[in-house]
Chains A and B, each alone.
Chain A
């Protein structure tokens, strides 16, 4: 059965799974206490804890192996609604270099309008006392520089725009 036809689409942190009712029924799972489940899967005995549950929002937070997973459940109706609302995704082609980590811009090595070759250094970003060369992965022209020397930047902040 393809995933689209399955009854439930479940997002667990960044991972997405699809299950149908038969799969669920076949599970060897039991509830030891209101928040404690034990599951035997592939002969492994696994304990999981319900940290938080919002049944109306179909959102449950579960802890497995010491890590916490936020789970979003979508049933058949939700999936149908989602499909109907789909198709309006907009794609914009902006070429820009973003900061891979928060840090301080130590030195911008390029000028606006400059043609830069692959592998060339755009700027040096200092984070945690380590200097990191931010280099280019393709040939491009610098359209706009959005930061200055000594500026603190957040992760994902645009450093330069490319043409």
Chain B
């Protein structure tokens, strides 16, 4: 492979290109008119403009991307996450054009891309699943009937969904119609497929996922778990590896289940098998994500394996260079997603310009980002500014490093999830490891951050006043001197 096109933007495009360059391969960036100045465009060896800012006219235009790839003699396309990364038709078209798709085969993507087909596929392997109805629904009356049988609260999920889009919790029947309408509409606009299904909403679940890696020779390994229970709007904000609740036995059991899920669809490349875990540590298969995950850095930090490098090696037909027994967990890693959102205002998007942007540095700190000071966060795409990850020899050290890194991360001009991160990593429930996906609902109120900010504001006010008064004092001796000078002149 001589030249790889990265069909993505932002931090992930940049992160993939860094590995591509390290492997001695040329990179091609794609960009929308809103991203002409983006870092991934500046970093790449070649770059092509796909069109106007909205994703459906740029980053989702697969045919245009393939046409450019052919024109530029590209021999591999890496889709990143989001956009076209889980679009089996796109993967098929890439292969048909004689270009290697750096990811799983279209068939595995097709199966796992549909949550319903996925459940059907793994059924034969005795993997536990969440109670619910395994069929697509558009009829509201039918939905009401099924929800009544399963029992509220229920979860409406887009079959083609991911990242919380097209997903709605419904507590009572009256809300079902409106919520379903929104979920279908969101699923249609985000994934081009409006089918949704209904599941029992498991209360107090933890979200634990297993990273798998499979080559084209039938070797499949898992790279342990990631705990992603701290979420807002069903989207992860904090991830870590290893999980503080998994025993070595449970880890082995879940790892084996994940490997089995991957094998059930002849999976290749990197993939993530997501499980829900209840308070009794029972785990249920949720879905498989057929892509590189946003939170992959924590796995890289504890295994020392570059997952993008592995993806490229697998895509070009190499065998895995290690077996399951070679893989060991070393230390502990945490990740905080830094979103342009206001944690004091219901996590609503806070768009603006990065008036100040200084990254934290130091040992055990990793920042995956795609922005520089002075850049604006476009409204057209995900509001993620960066992923801040820290490593420690153990969980305590990783948390301490994270708290320091958050302090050292200077972002001004818009609100971010950084203060929320401090709240999480200082919280007793997180520190003790006793938390679930309701962490935000159970413990978080903006007042707690507000109170801390008020205390700091008071300190700042006192220091400023002291500094101001002292600075004024300095001016006085100058006056005295001039007076005595005048006095001497008079003599």
Contacts and interface: CB of A to CB of B under 8 A. Distances in A.
B461 A37 contact: no
Given A12-B457, A128-B382, A71 B464 contact: yes
A8 B469 CA distance: 11
Interface stretch (A90-98, A100-108, A136-144): A100-108
A155 B348 CA distance: 10
Contacts of A53: 467-468, 471
B458 A68 contact: no
A131 B166 CA distance: 9
B464 A10 contact: yes
Contacts of A19: 461-462, 465
Contacts of A84: none
A66 B408 contact: yes
Given A129-B165, A131-B185, A155-B351, A66 B410 contact: yes
Chain B, interface size category, equals 35 or more
Nearest to A100: B348
Interface string B458-487: 111111111111111000000000000000
Interface in B423-477: 452-454, 456-472
Contacts of B178: 133
A46 B459 contact: yes
14 contacts: A24-B462, A29-B462, A31-B467, A50-B464, A62-B460, A62-B464, A62-B467, A64-B456, A66-B407, A67-B453, A128-B381, A128-B383, A129-B165, A129-B190
A60 B453 contact: no
A18 to B, nearest CB: 10
B412 A103 contact: no
Contacts of A103: 349, 379
B233 interface: yes
Contacts of A64: 456-457, 459-460, 463
Contacts of B454: 15
Interface string B194-215: 0000000000000000000000
Interface in A74-113: 100-104
A100 B346 CA distance: 11
Given A103-B379, A104-B379, A155-B351, A67 B462 contact: no
Contacts of A126: 189
Given A24-B465, A60-B464, A13 B457 contact: yes
B379 A60 contact: no
A101 B452 CA distance: 25
B459 A48 contact: yes
Given A67-B456, A128-B383, A10 B461 contact: yes
A55 B471 contact: yes
A148 interface: no
Contacts of B467: 31, 37, 50, 53, 60, 62
Interface string A28-62: 01010000010101000010101001010010101
Chain A, interface size category, equals 35 or more
A24 B470 CA distance: 12
Interface in B398-415: 406-410, 412
Interface string A105-130: 00000000000000000000011111
A48 B463 contact: yes
Q: Which 10 A-B pairs have the closest CB atoms?
A: A66-B407, A69-B460, A71-B464, A60-B464, A12-B457, A62-B460, A12-B461, A15-B457, A10-B461, A64-B456
A81 to B, nearest CB: 18
A67 B419 CA distance: 9
Nearest to A38: B463
A10 B465 contact: yes
B393 interface: no
A13 B344 CA distance: 15
Given A66-B407, A102-B349, A129-B190, A39 B462 contact: yes
A27 B349 contact: no
Contacts of A63: 460
Nearest to B163: A129
A68 to B, nearest CB: 6
Contacts of B458: 12, 15, 17
A53 B349 CA distance: 32
B294 to A, nearest CB: 14
Contacts of A27: 462, 466
Nearest to A18: B461
B472 A71 contact: no
Contact of B349 (A65, A71, A73, A128): A128
Q: Chain A CB within 10 Å — which of B233, B350, B460, B464 has the most?
A: B460
Contact of A71 (B381, B408, B461, B470): B461
B464 A12 contact: yes
B465 A50 contact: no
Contacts of A37: 463, 466-467
Given A10-B461, A128-B381, 18 more contacts: A17-B457, A39-B462, A39-B463, A41-B459, A48-B459, A50-B464, A55-B471, A60-B467, A65-B456, A67-B456, A100-B348, A101-B350, A104-B379, A127-B379, A128-B349, A128-B383, A130-B165, A133-B182
